[in-house]
Amino acid sequence: MFKYFSILIIALTSFISSATDLKVGDIAPNFNLQATTGDFYKLSDYKNKKTVVLAWYPMANTRGCTIECRSLVQKGHLIREYNASYFMASVDPLDDNRDFAKKTNADFPMLSDPTKSTAKAYDVLNLFGLASRVTFYIGSNGKILKIDDDINPETAAEDIAANLKYLNIAKP
């Protein structure tokens, strides 16, 4: 019994410790995800054009995610001051995200990754099969500029804008 418990602990520890293999300076994995608008968004479409902010969140219609989304709705103008496009993304089905976007009046694309392939590429899947709350800042050259895993949902928009300023992202 102890042997099996030890194997389980080692397996879980390995799974948890490999939570984020991506590093600043790495080329960000491309994605092609459908948004709540019905459009598909590809990271490669922004190459040499804009910085991309990809904010992963665990689950639509939950307390923390609703607070984060509302922050981006209410103070998104702070982010739009920069030459950047921003998205929230989850592994929720598209219809769940559409409902969430409608309830929160989201005025930005919310991306769905129900196959979890992009979440796996970004190493954000947690032990429960949901995306962890992690925000990636991806330069127009496709390289990761910053990985933020210390997200305060209440100040998400202000924090994104502050990070864009810190990263010297141009204003249009």
15 in any annotated domain: no
Q: Are 94 and 114 contacting, i.e. CB atoms less than 8 angstroms apart?
A: yes
Q: Are 109 and 39 contacting, i.e. CB atoms less than 8 angstroms apart?
A: yes
Tens of pLDDT, residues 56-106: 999 999 999 999 999 999 999 999 999 999 999 999 999 999 999 999 999
pLDDT of residue 5: 38
The structural domain count of the chain equals 1
Tens of pLDDT, residues 92-138: 999 999 999 999 999 999 999 999 999 999 999 999 999 999 999 99
Name 7's Cβ contacts closer than 8 Å, sequence gap at least 6.
none
Q: How far is CA 8 from CA 5, 11, 44, 165, in A?
A: 5, 5, 39, 44
Strands (E), the chain: 32-35, 40-42, 51-56, 84-90, 110-112, 135-138, 144-148
Position 132, amino acid: S
61 in any annotated domain: yes
pLDDT of residue 20: 61
- Helices 63-79 and 156-166, interaxial angle, to 10°? 40
117 in any annotated domain: yes
Residues spanned by the domain of 85: 22-166
